[in-house]
Structure 1
Protein backbone atom coordinates (compact mmCIF):
# COMPACT_ATOMS: atom_id res chain seq x y z
CA UNK A 1 0.00 0.00 0.00
CA UNK A 2 1.36 3.45 -0.87
CA UNK A 3 0.63 6.46 1.33
CA UNK A 4 1.37 10.12 0.70
CA UNK A 5 3.44 11.83 3.37
CA UNK A 6 1.18 13.30 6.02
CA UNK A 7 -1.94 11.72 4.58
CA UNK A 8 -4.27 9.38 6.40
CA UNK A 9 -4.06 5.97 4.73
CA UNK A 10 -7.17 4.18 3.57
CA UNK A 11 -7.81 0.50 3.34
CA UNK A 12 -9.88 -0.58 0.35
CA UNK A 13 -12.21 -3.57 0.71
CA UNK A 14 -13.68 -5.03 -2.46
CA UNK A 15 -16.87 -7.05 -1.93
CA UNK A 16 -17.64 -6.84 -5.65
CA UNK A 17 -15.57 -5.28 -8.42
CA UNK A 18 -15.35 -1.50 -8.19
CA UNK A 19 -17.92 -1.18 -5.39
CA UNK A 20 -15.41 -0.42 -2.69
CA UNK A 21 -15.92 0.07 1.00
CA UNK A 22 -13.37 2.44 2.52
CA UNK A 23 -12.38 2.54 6.15
CA UNK A 24 -9.86 5.08 7.38
CA UNK A 25 -7.31 3.99 9.96
CA UNK A 26 -4.12 5.41 11.37
CA UNK A 27 -0.97 3.96 9.88
CA UNK A 28 0.25 2.97 13.35
CA UNK A 29 -2.84 0.78 13.80
CA UNK A 30 -2.46 -1.28 10.62
CA UNK A 31 -0.30 -3.97 12.28
CA UNK A 32 -2.95 -4.35 15.02
CA UNK A 33 -5.82 -5.22 12.68
CA UNK A 34 -7.13 -8.74 13.14
CA UNK A 35 -7.83 -9.62 9.51
CA UNK A 36 -9.39 -12.95 10.45
CA UNK A 37 -12.16 -11.17 12.35
CA UNK A 38 -13.44 -9.30 9.28
CA UNK A 39 -16.82 -10.60 8.06
CA UNK A 40 -16.27 -12.97 5.15
CA UNK A 41 -18.86 -11.23 3.00
CA UNK A 42 -16.90 -7.97 3.17
CA UNK A 43 -13.47 -9.11 2.12
CA UNK A 44 -11.88 -10.52 -0.97
CA UNK A 45 -9.52 -13.50 -0.96
CA UNK A 46 -6.68 -11.07 -0.14
CA UNK A 47 -8.03 -7.94 1.51
CA UNK A 48 -4.52 -6.75 2.20
CA UNK A 49 -3.92 -6.40 -1.50
CA UNK A 50 -4.14 -2.65 -2.13
CA UNK A 51 -5.94 -1.75 -5.33
CA UNK A 52 -3.56 -1.05 -8.21
CA UNK A 53 -4.08 0.66 -11.55
CA UNK A 54 -2.28 -0.58 -14.64
CA UNK A 55 -1.85 1.07 -18.04
CA UNK A 56 -1.61 -1.35 -20.97
CA UNK A 57 -0.32 0.04 -24.27
CA UNK A 58 -0.21 -2.39 -27.22
CA UNK A 59 2.37 -1.67 -29.94
CA UNK A 60 2.00 -4.31 -32.62
CA UNK A 61 4.67 -4.44 -35.31
CA UNK A 62 2.50 -5.52 -38.24
CA UNK A 63 0.79 -2.31 -39.35
CA UNK A 64 0.19 -2.50 -43.11
CA UNK A 65 -1.21 0.99 -43.81
CA UNK A 66 1.63 2.75 -41.96
CA UNK A 67 4.53 0.34 -41.32
CA UNK A 68 6.17 0.72 -37.91
CA UNK A 69 3.86 3.60 -37.01
CA UNK A 70 3.95 2.78 -33.28
CA UNK A 71 7.68 3.53 -33.12
CA UNK A 72 7.74 6.25 -35.79
CA UNK A 73 10.25 8.85 -34.56
CA UNK A 74 9.08 12.42 -33.98
CA UNK A 75 12.03 14.62 -33.05
CA UNK A 76 13.72 11.52 -31.69
CA UNK A 77 10.78 10.17 -29.66
CA UNK A 78 8.83 7.07 -30.74
CA UNK A 79 5.11 7.66 -31.27
CA UNK A 80 4.00 5.28 -28.49
CA UNK A 81 5.99 7.30 -25.94
CA UNK A 82 3.67 10.29 -26.33
CA UNK A 83 0.72 8.43 -24.79
CA UNK A 84 2.82 6.35 -22.39
CA UNK A 85 4.69 9.36 -21.02
CA UNK A 86 1.48 11.22 -20.20
CA UNK A 87 0.03 8.10 -18.55
CA UNK A 88 3.12 7.85 -16.37
CA UNK A 89 3.11 11.56 -15.47
CA UNK A 90 -0.58 11.46 -14.52
CA UNK A 91 0.22 9.66 -11.26
CA UNK A 92 -2.72 7.30 -11.81
CA UNK A 93 -0.84 4.13 -12.71
CA UNK A 94 1.31 1.79 -10.66
CA UNK A 95 2.73 0.31 -13.86
CA UNK A 96 2.75 1.44 -17.48
CA UNK A 97 3.03 -1.76 -19.49
CA UNK A 98 4.10 -1.87 -23.13
CA UNK A 99 2.98 -5.11 -24.76
CA UNK A 100 4.31 -6.13 -28.15
CA UNK A 101 5.02 -9.03 -30.45
CA UNK A 102 8.37 -7.46 -31.35
CA UNK A 103 11.61 -7.75 -29.39
CA UNK A 104 12.85 -4.65 -31.21
CA UNK A 105 9.85 -2.63 -30.05
CA UNK A 106 10.25 -3.86 -26.49
CA UNK A 107 13.92 -2.90 -26.46
CA UNK A 108 12.92 0.65 -27.42
CA UNK A 109 10.28 0.69 -24.66
CA UNK A 110 12.85 -0.60 -22.16
CA UNK A 111 15.07 2.38 -22.93
CA UNK A 112 12.26 4.62 -21.62
CA UNK A 113 11.82 2.63 -18.42
CA UNK A 114 8.42 1.06 -19.10
CA UNK A 115 7.32 -2.36 -17.89
CA UNK A 116 7.46 -4.88 -20.71
CA UNK A 117 5.24 -7.70 -21.91
CA UNK A 118 6.15 -10.05 -24.75
CA UNK A 119 3.03 -11.47 -26.30
CA UNK A 120 2.55 -15.15 -26.84
CA UNK A 121 2.29 -16.53 -30.36
CA UNK A 122 -1.49 -16.77 -30.00
CA UNK A 123 -1.82 -13.15 -28.86
CA UNK A 124 0.44 -12.02 -31.72
CA UNK A 125 -1.60 -13.53 -34.54
CA UNK A 126 -3.65 -11.49 -37.00
CA UNK A 127 -6.77 -13.02 -35.48
CA UNK A 128 -6.02 -11.99 -31.89
CA UNK A 129 -8.45 -9.41 -30.55
CA UNK A 130 -7.66 -6.59 -28.14
CA UNK A 131 -9.52 -8.58 -25.49
CA UNK A 132 -7.20 -11.56 -26.11
CA UNK A 133 -4.19 -9.33 -25.53
CA UNK A 134 -5.73 -7.72 -22.45
CA UNK A 135 -6.54 -11.10 -20.93
CA UNK A 136 -2.98 -12.32 -21.41
CA UNK A 137 -1.44 -9.19 -19.86
CA UNK A 138 -3.79 -9.26 -16.86
CA UNK A 139 -2.88 -12.87 -16.12
CA UNK A 140 0.84 -12.54 -16.80
CA UNK A 141 1.05 -9.60 -14.37
CA UNK A 142 -1.12 -11.45 -11.83
CA UNK A 143 -3.66 -8.65 -11.56
CA UNK A 144 -6.36 -9.05 -8.92
CA UNK A 145 -10.13 -8.65 -9.08
CA UNK A 146 -10.04 -5.30 -7.29
CA UNK A 147 -7.44 -3.84 -9.65
CA UNK A 148 -8.19 -1.63 -12.62
CA UNK A 149 -6.53 -1.77 -16.02
CA UNK A 150 -6.58 0.83 -18.77
CA UNK A 151 -6.10 -0.01 -22.44
CA UNK A 152 -4.44 3.06 -23.98
CA UNK A 153 -4.01 3.65 -27.69
CA UNK A 154 -0.39 4.22 -28.67
CA UNK A 155 -1.61 6.04 -31.78
CA UNK A 156 -3.48 8.69 -29.76
CA UNK A 157 -0.61 11.07 -29.03
CA UNK A 158 -2.64 13.90 -27.52
CA UNK A 159 -3.58 12.24 -24.25
CA UNK A 160 -3.83 14.58 -21.28
CA UNK A 161 -3.00 13.86 -17.65
CA UNK A 162 -6.36 15.22 -16.51
CA UNK A 163 -8.22 12.70 -18.69
CA UNK A 164 -6.64 9.82 -16.77
CA UNK A 165 -7.16 11.59 -13.47
CA UNK A 166 -10.84 12.16 -14.29
CA UNK A 167 -11.18 8.46 -15.02
CA UNK A 168 -9.43 7.43 -11.79
CA UNK A 169 -11.74 9.67 -9.77
CA UNK A 170 -14.69 7.52 -10.88
CA UNK A 171 -13.26 4.12 -10.00
CA UNK A 172 -14.90 3.76 -6.59
CA UNK A 173 -18.31 5.01 -7.69
CA UNK A 174 -19.93 1.66 -8.41
CA UNK A 175 -18.92 1.36 -12.06
CA UNK A 176 -17.18 -1.48 -13.88
CA UNK A 177 -15.61 0.37 -16.81
CA UNK A 178 -14.83 3.80 -18.23
CA UNK A 179 -15.25 4.99 -21.81
CA UNK A 180 -13.89 8.11 -23.50
CA UNK A 181 -16.08 10.19 -25.79
CA UNK A 182 -16.38 13.57 -27.40
CA UNK A 183 -19.54 15.52 -28.04
CA UNK A 184 -20.70 15.28 -31.65
CA UNK A 185 -23.21 17.77 -32.97
CA UNK A 186 -23.39 17.10 -36.70
CA UNK A 187 -26.11 15.69 -38.92
CA UNK A 188 -26.05 12.20 -40.35
CA UNK A 189 -27.56 11.97 -43.85
CA UNK A 190 -30.42 9.79 -42.64
CA UNK A 191 -31.34 12.59 -40.25
CA UNK A 192 -31.84 15.18 -43.00
CA UNK A 193 -32.69 13.53 -46.33
CA UNK A 194 -36.42 13.78 -46.94
CA UNK A 195 -37.01 15.18 -43.45
CA UNK A 196 -37.52 18.58 -41.96
CA UNK A 197 -34.11 19.93 -41.03
CA UNK A 198 -33.74 20.94 -37.40
CA UNK A 199 -31.89 24.02 -36.30
CA UNK A 200 -28.45 23.24 -34.91
CA UNK A 201 -29.36 24.70 -31.53
CA UNK A 202 -32.33 22.31 -31.38
CA UNK A 203 -30.21 19.29 -32.27
CA UNK A 204 -29.07 17.27 -29.25
CA UNK A 205 -25.38 16.44 -29.24
CA UNK A 206 -24.38 12.79 -29.40
CA UNK A 207 -21.54 10.98 -27.71
CA UNK A 208 -18.94 9.69 -30.14
CA UNK A 209 -16.52 7.10 -28.76
CA UNK A 210 -12.93 8.27 -29.20
CA UNK A 211 -11.09 5.02 -28.47
CA UNK A 212 -8.26 6.97 -26.85
CA UNK A 213 -8.45 4.71 -23.80
CA UNK A 214 -10.77 2.42 -21.87
CA UNK A 215 -10.62 1.59 -18.17
CA UNK A 216 -12.11 -1.52 -16.61
CA UNK A 217 -12.20 -3.47 -13.39
CA UNK A 218 -10.09 -6.61 -13.70
CA UNK A 219 -12.63 -8.90 -12.02
CA UNK A 220 -15.41 -7.62 -14.26
CA UNK A 221 -13.25 -8.13 -17.34
CA UNK A 222 -12.48 -11.73 -16.40
CA UNK A 223 -16.23 -12.33 -16.10
CA UNK A 224 -17.40 -10.50 -19.23
CA UNK A 225 -14.33 -10.73 -21.50
CA UNK A 226 -15.08 -7.23 -22.74
CA UNK A 227 -13.46 -3.86 -22.09
CA UNK A 228 -16.79 -2.00 -21.93
CA UNK A 229 -18.89 -3.30 -19.05
CA UNK A 230 -22.04 -1.81 -17.59
CA UNK A 231 -22.38 0.21 -15.48
CA UNK A 232 -19.78 2.47 -17.05
CA UNK A 233 -18.42 5.95 -16.46
CA UNK A 234 -17.54 8.55 -19.07
CA UNK A 235 -14.62 10.88 -19.66
CA UNK A 236 -15.16 13.66 -22.19
CA UNK A 237 -12.32 14.33 -24.63
CA UNK A 238 -11.87 17.65 -26.37
CA UNK A 239 -12.18 17.44 -30.15
CA UNK A 240 -8.72 18.97 -30.52
CA UNK A 241 -7.19 15.98 -28.68
CA UNK A 242 -9.21 13.27 -30.45
CA UNK A 243 -6.59 12.28 -33.00
CA UNK A 244 -5.69 8.78 -34.16
CA UNK A 245 -2.52 8.26 -36.17
CA UNK A 246 -3.50 5.72 -38.80
CA UNK A 247 -1.63 6.99 -41.86
CA UNK A 248 1.58 8.93 -42.41
CA UNK A 249 -0.59 11.87 -43.50
CA UNK A 250 -1.96 12.01 -39.95
CA UNK A 251 1.56 12.71 -38.72
CA UNK A 252 2.05 15.40 -41.36
CA UNK A 253 -1.23 17.09 -40.46
CA UNK A 254 -0.22 17.44 -36.81
CA UNK A 255 3.55 17.78 -37.03
CA UNK A 256 3.84 21.26 -35.43
CA UNK A 257 1.98 20.15 -32.30
CA UNK A 258 3.78 16.80 -32.18
CA UNK A 259 7.19 18.45 -32.42
CA UNK A 260 6.31 20.92 -29.69
CA UNK A 261 5.21 18.06 -27.43
CA UNK A 262 8.37 16.11 -28.22
CA UNK A 263 10.50 19.00 -26.99
CA UNK A 264 8.37 19.29 -23.85
CA UNK A 265 8.51 15.56 -23.10
CA UNK A 266 12.27 15.43 -23.55
CA UNK A 267 12.61 18.05 -20.83
CA UNK A 268 10.25 16.27 -18.43
CA UNK A 269 11.25 13.44 -16.15
CA UNK A 270 8.75 10.77 -15.04
Structure 2
Protein backbone atom coordinates (compact mmCIF):
# COMPACT_ATOMS: atom_id res chain seq x y z
CA UNK A 1 0.00 0.00 0.00
CA UNK A 2 1.23 3.47 -0.84
CA UNK A 3 1.57 5.79 2.12
CA UNK A 4 2.32 9.50 1.84
CA UNK A 5 2.84 12.25 4.38
CA UNK A 6 1.23 15.64 3.81
CA UNK A 7 2.34 18.82 5.56
CA UNK A 8 -0.06 21.73 4.98
CA UNK A 9 1.74 25.09 5.28
CA UNK A 10 0.01 28.31 4.29
CA UNK A 11 1.90 31.54 3.76
CA UNK A 12 -0.44 33.76 5.73
CA UNK A 13 -0.76 33.70 9.49
CA UNK A 14 -2.66 36.35 11.35
CA UNK A 15 -1.49 35.97 14.96
CA UNK A 16 2.12 34.98 14.22
CA UNK A 17 3.14 36.28 10.77
CA UNK A 18 5.16 33.86 8.61
CA UNK A 19 5.22 31.31 11.42
CA UNK A 20 5.81 28.34 9.12
CA UNK A 21 9.20 29.72 8.07
CA UNK A 22 10.13 31.24 11.43
CA UNK A 23 13.38 29.73 12.69
CA UNK A 24 13.03 27.24 15.52
CA UNK A 25 16.34 25.84 16.68
CA UNK A 26 17.96 27.27 13.55
CA UNK A 27 15.49 25.60 11.16
CA UNK A 28 12.31 26.91 9.57
CA UNK A 29 9.35 25.59 11.55
CA UNK A 30 8.06 23.58 8.61
CA UNK A 31 11.39 21.74 8.22
CA UNK A 32 11.01 20.01 11.57
CA UNK A 33 8.01 18.08 10.22
CA UNK A 34 9.74 17.43 6.88
CA UNK A 35 12.78 15.90 8.57
CA UNK A 36 10.55 13.89 10.89
CA UNK A 37 8.58 12.36 8.01
CA UNK A 38 11.66 11.53 5.93
CA UNK A 39 13.21 9.28 8.56
CA UNK A 40 10.54 6.54 8.20
CA UNK A 41 10.93 4.09 5.34
CA UNK A 42 7.20 3.27 5.17
CA UNK A 43 6.52 6.83 4.00
CA UNK A 44 6.74 6.61 0.21
CA UNK A 45 6.66 10.36 -0.43
CA UNK A 46 6.37 13.62 1.50
CA UNK A 47 4.26 16.46 0.13
CA UNK A 48 4.03 20.06 1.29
CA UNK A 49 0.82 21.86 0.33
CA UNK A 50 1.34 25.61 0.17
CA UNK A 51 0.30 28.86 -1.46
CA UNK A 52 3.63 30.55 -0.65
CA UNK A 53 6.69 30.71 -2.93
CA UNK A 54 9.08 31.01 0.02
CA UNK A 55 7.66 27.91 1.69
CA UNK A 56 7.76 26.10 -1.65
CA UNK A 57 11.46 26.91 -2.09
CA UNK A 58 12.30 25.71 1.43
CA UNK A 59 10.39 22.46 0.94
CA UNK A 60 12.04 21.74 -2.41
CA UNK A 61 15.46 22.49 -0.92
CA UNK A 62 14.81 19.78 1.66
CA UNK A 63 13.98 17.14 -0.93
CA UNK A 64 10.20 16.86 -0.72
CA UNK A 65 7.46 17.36 -3.26
CA UNK A 66 5.31 20.50 -3.34
CA UNK A 67 1.69 20.88 -4.38
CA UNK A 68 0.74 24.48 -5.16
CA UNK A 69 -2.41 25.22 -3.20
CA UNK A 70 -4.90 27.49 -5.01
CA UNK A 71 -5.99 30.68 -3.28
CA UNK A 72 -9.54 29.49 -2.68
CA UNK A 73 -8.19 26.62 -0.56
CA UNK A 74 -5.84 28.80 1.48
CA UNK A 75 -8.29 30.98 3.40
CA UNK A 76 -8.46 31.34 7.17
CA UNK A 77 -11.65 29.31 7.42
CA UNK A 78 -10.82 26.56 4.93
CA UNK A 79 -10.65 23.16 6.68
CA UNK A 80 -7.44 21.14 6.57
CA UNK A 81 -9.17 18.28 4.79
CA UNK A 82 -9.58 20.52 1.71
CA UNK A 83 -5.81 20.78 1.36
CA UNK A 84 -5.40 17.03 1.78
CA UNK A 85 -8.04 16.29 -0.85
CA UNK A 86 -6.34 18.71 -3.22
CA UNK A 87 -3.02 16.91 -2.81
CA UNK A 88 -4.64 13.53 -3.45
CA UNK A 89 -6.22 14.93 -6.59
CA UNK A 90 -2.92 16.37 -7.79
CA UNK A 91 -0.65 13.35 -7.38
CA UNK A 92 -0.42 11.03 -10.35
CA UNK A 93 -0.53 7.78 -8.43
CA UNK A 94 -2.95 5.86 -6.22
CA UNK A 95 -2.55 6.61 -2.53
CA UNK A 96 -3.87 4.30 0.18
CA UNK A 97 -2.89 5.98 3.45
CA UNK A 98 -2.23 9.60 4.38
CA UNK A 99 -0.16 10.74 7.34
CA UNK A 100 -0.98 14.32 8.29
CA UNK A 101 1.81 16.22 10.02
CA UNK A 102 0.99 19.79 10.99
CA UNK A 103 3.87 22.25 10.76
CA UNK A 104 2.59 23.93 13.91
CA UNK A 105 3.34 20.76 15.91
CA UNK A 106 7.07 20.60 15.19
CA UNK A 107 8.18 18.48 18.17
CA UNK A 108 7.28 14.79 18.30
CA UNK A 109 8.70 11.82 20.20
CA UNK A 110 11.27 10.18 17.91
CA UNK A 111 9.47 6.88 17.30
CA UNK A 112 5.88 8.09 17.68
CA UNK A 113 5.00 7.77 14.01
CA UNK A 114 6.52 4.29 13.76
CA UNK A 115 4.56 3.14 16.81
CA UNK A 116 1.37 4.84 15.61
CA UNK A 117 1.62 3.23 12.18
CA UNK A 118 2.05 -0.19 13.77
CA UNK A 119 -1.04 0.35 15.92
CA UNK A 120 -3.01 1.67 12.93
CA UNK A 121 -2.33 -1.54 11.02
CA UNK A 122 -3.15 -3.71 14.03
CA UNK A 123 -6.49 -2.14 14.96
CA UNK A 124 -7.62 -1.92 11.33
CA UNK A 125 -9.51 1.34 11.88
CA UNK A 126 -10.03 3.85 9.09
CA UNK A 127 -8.04 6.47 11.00
CA UNK A 128 -5.87 7.11 14.04
CA UNK A 129 -5.06 10.33 15.86
CA UNK A 130 -3.09 11.25 18.96
CA UNK A 131 -4.67 12.42 22.20
CA UNK A 132 -3.42 13.33 25.67
CA UNK A 133 -5.03 13.13 29.07
CA UNK A 134 -6.33 16.31 30.65
CA UNK A 135 -5.41 16.92 34.30
CA UNK A 136 -7.22 20.24 34.74
CA UNK A 137 -10.53 21.14 36.35
CA UNK A 138 -12.74 22.75 33.71
CA UNK A 139 -15.91 24.77 34.03
CA UNK A 140 -18.08 27.35 32.32
CA UNK A 141 -19.05 30.87 33.42
CA UNK A 142 -22.71 31.81 33.09
CA UNK A 143 -24.30 34.89 34.62
CA UNK A 144 -20.96 35.61 36.31
CA UNK A 145 -21.03 32.25 38.08
CA UNK A 146 -18.52 29.44 37.59
CA UNK A 147 -20.10 26.07 36.84
CA UNK A 148 -17.74 23.07 37.21
CA UNK A 149 -17.79 20.86 34.12
CA UNK A 150 -15.66 17.79 34.81
CA UNK A 151 -15.54 17.74 38.62
CA UNK A 152 -17.36 18.51 41.83
CA UNK A 153 -16.11 21.25 44.17
CA UNK A 154 -13.57 19.79 46.57
CA UNK A 155 -12.86 16.77 44.38
CA UNK A 156 -9.19 15.86 44.05
CA UNK A 157 -7.61 16.17 40.60
CA UNK A 158 -6.43 12.56 40.71
CA UNK A 159 -10.03 11.42 41.19
CA UNK A 160 -11.39 13.15 38.09
CA UNK A 161 -13.03 11.12 35.36
CA UNK A 162 -10.40 11.01 32.60
CA UNK A 163 -10.86 13.51 29.78
CA UNK A 164 -8.63 13.63 26.71
CA UNK A 165 -7.79 16.29 24.15
CA UNK A 166 -6.72 16.07 20.52
CA UNK A 167 -3.07 17.17 20.64
CA UNK A 168 -2.39 17.44 16.90
CA UNK A 169 0.90 15.53 16.88
CA UNK A 170 -0.14 13.28 13.99
CA UNK A 171 -3.06 11.76 12.10
CA UNK A 172 -3.18 8.62 9.96
CA UNK A 173 -6.17 8.18 7.67
CA UNK A 174 -7.15 6.06 4.70
CA UNK A 175 -7.10 8.17 1.55
CA UNK A 176 -10.62 7.05 0.66
CA UNK A 177 -11.92 8.65 3.87
CA UNK A 178 -10.16 11.94 3.17
CA UNK A 179 -11.81 12.03 -0.23
CA UNK A 180 -15.09 11.81 1.70
CA UNK A 181 -14.10 14.84 3.82
CA UNK A 182 -13.00 12.87 6.90
CA UNK A 183 -9.66 12.98 8.70
CA UNK A 184 -10.95 11.64 12.01
CA UNK A 185 -13.49 8.95 11.16
CA UNK A 186 -16.24 7.54 13.36
CA UNK A 187 -14.11 4.50 14.20
CA UNK A 188 -10.91 6.54 14.66
CA UNK A 189 -8.45 5.02 17.11
CA UNK A 190 -7.33 7.51 19.80
CA UNK A 191 -3.66 6.86 20.53
CA UNK A 192 -2.87 8.19 24.00
CA UNK A 193 0.43 10.08 24.23
CA UNK A 194 1.87 11.13 27.57
CA UNK A 195 4.74 13.41 26.56
CA UNK A 196 5.50 17.12 27.06
CA UNK A 197 5.71 17.61 23.27
CA UNK A 198 1.95 17.06 23.15
CA UNK A 199 1.54 20.52 24.69
CA UNK A 200 3.41 22.27 21.86
CA UNK A 201 1.02 23.70 19.27
CA UNK A 202 2.20 26.97 17.74
CA UNK A 203 -0.28 29.73 17.03
CA UNK A 204 1.16 32.70 18.91
CA UNK A 205 4.59 34.08 19.86
CA UNK A 206 4.18 32.66 23.36
CA UNK A 207 3.56 29.22 21.83
CA UNK A 208 6.68 29.63 19.71
CA UNK A 209 8.78 30.66 22.70
CA UNK A 210 7.54 27.62 24.62
CA UNK A 211 8.45 25.34 21.69
CA UNK A 212 11.94 26.86 21.60
CA UNK A 213 12.32 26.24 25.33
CA UNK A 214 11.19 22.62 25.00
CA UNK A 215 13.47 21.98 22.03
CA UNK A 216 16.46 23.42 23.87
CA UNK A 217 15.63 21.46 27.01
CA UNK A 218 15.42 18.09 25.25
CA UNK A 219 18.46 18.75 23.05
CA UNK A 220 20.48 19.38 26.19
CA UNK A 221 19.37 16.26 28.05
TM range (shorter): 0.7 to 0.9
- Secondary structure, aligned partner of 1:161: coil
Residues 1:261 and 1:114: Cα distance change in structure 2 (over 3 Å): farther
* Stretch moving more, 96-105 or 198-207: 198-207
* 1:174 paired to 2:132: no
Uncovered stretches (5+) of structure 1, i.e. residues with no partner = 1-50, 264-270
| Count of residue pairs the alignment pairs up | 211
* 1:188 paired to 2:144: no
Match of 2:107 in 1: 158
Shift of 1:143: 5.3
Q: How far apart in 1 are the matches of 2:124 and 2:27?
A: 38
Shift of 1:261: 7.2
Q: How far apart in 1 are the matches of 2:61 and 2:171?
A: 26
- Secondary structure, aligned partner of 1:197: coil
Q: How far apart in 1 are the matches of 2:178 and 2:212?
A: 37
Shift of 1:241: 0.5
Q: How far apart in 2 are the matches of 1:261 and 1:114?
A: 27
Match of 1:17 in 2: none
Shift of 1:118: 0.8
* 1:215 paired to 2:165: no
Q: How far apart in 2 are the matches of 1:185 and 1:258?
A: 23
Shift of 1:92: 3.5
Match of 2:189 in 1: 233
The CA RMSD over aligned residues, in Å, is: 2.5
Runs of 4+ aligned residues of structure 1 deviating over 4 Å after TM superposition are 192-196, 259-263
Q: How far apart in 2 are the matches of 1:248 and 1:126?
A: 18
* 1:68 paired to 2:18: yes
Match of 1:141 in 2: 91
Shift of 1:216: 0.6
Match of 1:199 in 2: 156
- Secondary structure, aligned partner of 2:125: coil
- Secondary structure, aligned partner of 1:180: strand
Deviations 1:76-135 (A, max 9, x none): 310111122112213341111111001221011111111111112322234432111111
